[in-house]
Amino acid sequence: MEGSVFFSLRLSLQVAAVATVLIVLIGTSVAYFLARKDFRGKELVDILLTLPLVLPPTVTGYYLIWLAGRNGLVGEYIFHWTGWNILFTWYAAVLASFVVALPLMLKTTRAAIESVDPNLVNISYTLGHGELKTFFKVILPLSKKGMVAGTILSFARAMGEFGATLMVAGNIPGRTDTMPIAIYTSVSSGDWSKANIMVIFFTLVSGAFLYIASRLSKKII
Amino acid sequence: MNKRALVLILISICPLLLITRESIGQKDKEIIVSAAISLTNAFEEIGKNFQGKHKNVRFLGNFGGSGALARQIIGGAPVDVFASASPKDMDDLDQMNMILKDTRINFAGNKIVLVVPVNAAFQLTSFHDLKRAEIKRIAIGNPKTVPAGRYAEEVLRHFSLAEALKDKLIFAENVRQVLDYVARGEVDAGMVYSTDAPIKAERVKIAIEASEQSHKPVVYPIAVIKGSKKEILGKEFISFVVSQEGKQIMKKYGFKPLERP
Amino acid sequence: MIEVDIAKNFGNFSLDLSLHLQKDFTVLFGPSGSGKSVALQTIAGWMQPDSGTIRVNGLVYFDKKTGVNLPINRRHIGYVLQEPSLFPHMTLFENIAYGASGLPSGERKRKVLQIIERMRLKGLENHFPSQISGGQKQRGALARALVASPLLFLLDEPFASLDNPVREKLRLDLLRIIKEDNIPIIFVTHDVDEAFVLAEEMVVLNEGRVEQRGSKEDIFYRPQTHNAAKFFGAKNIFRGKITEIHSEEGKMTVGVERKAFKAVMPYRPGTVVGEWITFCIRPEEIMILKEGKPIKANLQRNVFTGEIVRIVERGAEHTLFFKQGEDDYDFEISLSNLAYRSLHLQEGDRVSVAFKWESIWLIPQKK
């Protein structure tokens, strides 16, 4: 059951990438509603979704187990109908990363959308365009900066997620040991040479990512 | 405005003052014992009784996976006594010259069992049953750091099941976490010590007891950590653990008694 | 035909509008905070009234009772704001084309280029809004609104932030366009001159209510309320009690409140002695009598002697403050520079002033 350094690195990138895609899609939609619509319980929704930002990852992990475990609120039914459970799979790692990084995307994107001049949005409607078209042609281009920042932050947070991931995905070498978890295991068991390699790799990859991200974002913006 | 800022600063410093007072006050009268997590219940009672016999002494139990505890000590944690669930972790410390060799003693033994959720639908009579398709997840301690995990691997290898069950294994950080996974039904079966199962008697039941030949004997060593500022108190603690009273308590929790090696 | 009958409460301000407009160019006039912009926003659907109905050419845009609230994008309205509202991330061409996206691309391009020509924007198609002037931006906004073929055009002080010569040019552009395209317009402004130049019909708004409505002459010379008079520069507004009535001669005398003089004016049928009325005289209707010249017959009824206490030069005309009683001044008189120069007046001079009694306008009392 030996998990290799490259597996952990690849897994971390994979988990973070998938989580970030979900965060961008879901986060942007939710941020749009929070920014532009009014409904009962709006601020409650905002608080609930932002909680993982202020709660320790272990508390978030606790709630995820309570929700998605085999006897969890939602997990129970899924296990009953499909015999499948998300815990101890890499999907759980994606879930943990998604939940803890989503607030970052939400906050930045909501602020960006709210700062779009409402007159411009109304003018788009007045010119005959519907909400969806207005979103893609007016709101999105004018919120790009905030959204790009949110995406970068989310990916970074997803890459570094550890506490909640450990609790829901477990530490299964070759299956769910993302790099932060693998490093933790190596350090816990005194395997400093392995830990050293991984830490250097992870730092280089993260640094490279930040560099690429900042170049890309300058181009987009 | 200045007055308000001053008040705020004073308020935020207060918690720091509390910490300092606390640590200064109690330092001389505490004994910190790092012990394998399977010893939690037994040592908590032993610790309480120890406190009763020694006025003004406070027992602080630090429980976790033996490997993690050993790392802490190597990393400089201010531990006075260490009790692990296998000789290996004590040997690691011994090799690094971190224990008082003449205080080292084996004080208890244990058995390895396979537990399942109490309302499990399936019946397991031998370890080979674990190959069945309905058994999707089996939890054991992480062999790298948890003695119970190493013993579990030995058992599986003894029955030539290690390869077959490789993909079903879920590693936990300590043996109580294995117990918890089974208790919560997150896994279909788990391997823990026989002393752990009763802790969650309402949620787990023992399915199989691993024969003593299937794994290295489970031996718990205990020793005083070199450099501890309370060597005498540490030695007294170990004496208490191996005393009649201590042995009674260990027996109460299901541990096998051992004679001095 | 635009019918707006709505009410909306804003906490410390409430709107209660009843507008029925038929002319092609209606000016909505009023001071800041009178609700002009809100009125436009409710017609366009940017804001929902609390109650009432809005109908445009028979089509119901809003009806609180039946729950009808046509979404903004189905109202076919052109809207130009005071602040430039071109999309900053699109070129001028893209901005204007945005209004015409229902069309196939070939026809759209043609239509857009056509309107760019009409609005004198040729050559700027690929510029971004940040690269063109305020006047060009507003012309762009007009073009974009026009290209969507609106049924109604709403303009909220569109030229307010532009320089005067640009404003005048744009006003002419606007008039030309509506003549060519025949689209009804509601134009909001708080500039009296602009209102005068553009309006066919004027509606005066104040504190969320319609103060008066009519042709520009109606409002200018025959303000129906004190406020309407004030807004349009009828400076000399007085309150007085009727002291004598000679109906056979068609005249009545009014003792002006807190002032030492009496004014003689045409008898208004239905009034009685002792009744309080309000009247006004426009500053440019008061004449300064030249010394030595005989006073014309129709001026003799209202002649007052007093002192010029202050003279203010206002560029194209002079304002003189005339005092004959205890107050700081009694009349504000406006003279063209030409007239002023020929009179050789100075502060402190004693003069006689007079005005035709037809210049006196009685402001109807609110019942």
Listed residue (B206, B187, B222) closest to B87, CA to CA: B222
Residue B259 predicted with pLDDT over 70: no
Q: What is the DSSP string of C155-186?
A: EESTTTTS-HHHHHHHHHHHHHHHHHH---EE
Chain C residue closest in CA terms to A123: C79
* Alpha carbon A135 to its chain's center: 23
Out of C72, C89, C101, the one facing A126 most closely (by C-beta) is C72
Bridge pairing between strands B81-83 and B218-224: antiparallel
Listed residue (B186, B228, B189, B193) closest to B210, CA to CA: B193
CB burial class (10 A; 0-12, 13-18, 19+) of residue C358?
A: exposed
Out of A87, A170, A191, the one facing B171 most closely (by C-beta) is A170
CATH 3.40.190.10 domain span(s) along chain B? 27-109+219-257, 112-209
φ and ψ at residue B104, rounded to 5 degrees: -70, 130
Q: Do chains C and B touch (3 or more CB pairs under 8 A)?
A: no
Give chain A positions within 8 Å (CB) of C81.
Answer: 119, 123
Please answer yes or no on whether C87 and A138 come within 8 Å at the CB atom. Answer: yes
Does A194 touch chain B if contact means CB atoms closer than 8 Å?
no
Q: What's the pTM value of the predicted model, to 2 decimals?
A: 0.77
If one looks up domain B27-109+219-257 in CATH, what number appears? Answer: 3.40.190.10
Distance from CA of A154 to the nearest CA of C (A): 26
The rounded percent of chain C whose pLDDT value lies above 70 is 99
φ and ψ at residue A131, rounded to 5 degrees: -65, -45
Q: Distance of CA C48 to CAs A121, B136, C6, C10, C20, Å?
A: 16, 59, 10, 12, 19
Domains belonging to chain C, first-starting first, are: 2-231 (3.40.50.300), 236-363 (2.40.50.100)
pLDDT, one tens digit per residue, over C201-217 is 889 888 888 888 888 88
Does C70 touch chain A if contact means CB atoms closer than 8 Å?
no
Does A70 touch chain B if contact means CB atoms closer than 8 Å?
yes
Mean pLDDT of B20-36: 69
Residues 250-269 of C with CB under 8 A from A: none
Q: Identify the band that residue B19 occupies on the pLDDT scale cut at 50, 70 and 90.
A: low
Mean pLDDT of A128-137: 93
Give chain A positions within 8 Å (CB) of B67.
Answer: 188-189
φ and ψ at residue A186, rounded to 5 degrees: -60, -45
Q: Which fold is adopted by the domain B112-209?
A: D-Maltodextrin-Binding Protein; domain 2 (3.40.190)
More confident residue, B43 or A1: B43
Chain A residue closest in CA terms to B138: A88
Domain range enclosing A158: 5-220
Residue A61's SS3 state is helix
Residue A170's SS3 state is coil
Contact of C43 with C78, CB cutoff 8 Å: no
Poorest-pLDDT segment among B141-150, C71-80, C325-334, C358-367:
C358-367
Residue A8 predicted with pLDDT over 50: yes
Give the pLDDT confidence score for residue B100 in this predicted structure. 93
Residue A212 predicted with pLDDT over 90: no
Give the pLDDT confidence score for residue B21 in this predicted structure. 47
Mean pLDDT of B126-130: 92
Mean pLDDT of A41-49: 92
Give the pLDDT confidence score for residue A3 in this predicted structure. 52
Residues 134-193 of A with CB under 8 A from B: 170-173, 185, 187-191
* Alpha carbon C56 to its chain's center: 23
Give the pLDDT confidence score for residue B16 in this predicted structure. 67
HSE-CB of B8 using CA atoms within 13 angstroms = 5
Q: Identify the band that residue B11 occupies on the pLDDT scale cut at 50, 70 and 90.
A: confident
Chain A residue closest in CA terms to B92: A190
Cβ-Cβ pairs closer than 8 A, A with B, add up to 44
Residue B196 predicted with pLDDT over 90: yes
Bridge pairing between strands C317-323 and B112-117: unpaired
pLDDT, one tens digit per residue, over A142-182 is 999 889 989 999 999 999 999 999 989 988 878 888 999 98
CA dist C123 and C131 (Å) reads 12
Give chain A positions within 8 Å (CB) of B185.
Answer: 69-71
Q: Distance of CA C216 to CAs A133, B16, C357, Å?
A: 42, 77, 22
Instruction: Supply the mean pLDDT for chain B.
Output: 89
Distance from CA of B142 to the nearest CA of A (A): 8
Bridge pairing between strands C209-214 and C201-206: antiparallel
Give the pLDDT confidence score for residue A2 in this predicted structure. 44
Structural domain count, chain A = 1
Give the pLDDT confidence score for residue A123 in this predicted structure. 95
What residue type is B50 in one-letter code?
A: F
Going C217 to C219 to C224 to C225, the CA torsion angle's sign is: negative
CATH number for the domain harbouring residue A25 = 1.10.3720.10
Poorest-pLDDT segment among A63-72, B19-28, C1-10:
B19-28
Residue B28 predicted with pLDDT over 60: no
Please answer yes or no on whether C73 and A128 come within 8 Å at the CB atom. Answer: yes
Q: Identify the band that residue A1 occupies on the pLDDT scale cut at 50, 70 and 90.
A: very low
φ and ψ at residue B221, rounded to 5 degrees: -90, 155
Give chain A positions within 8 Å (CB) of C79.
Answer: 122-123, 126
pLDDT, one tens digit per residue, over C336-353 is 988 888 888 888 888 888
CA dist C42 and C61 (Å) reads 10
Give chain A positions within 8 Å (CB) of C88.
Answer: 142
Give the pLDDT confidence score for residue B17 in this predicted structure. 63
Residue A20 predicted with pLDDT over 70: yes
What residue type is C10 in one-letter code?
A: F
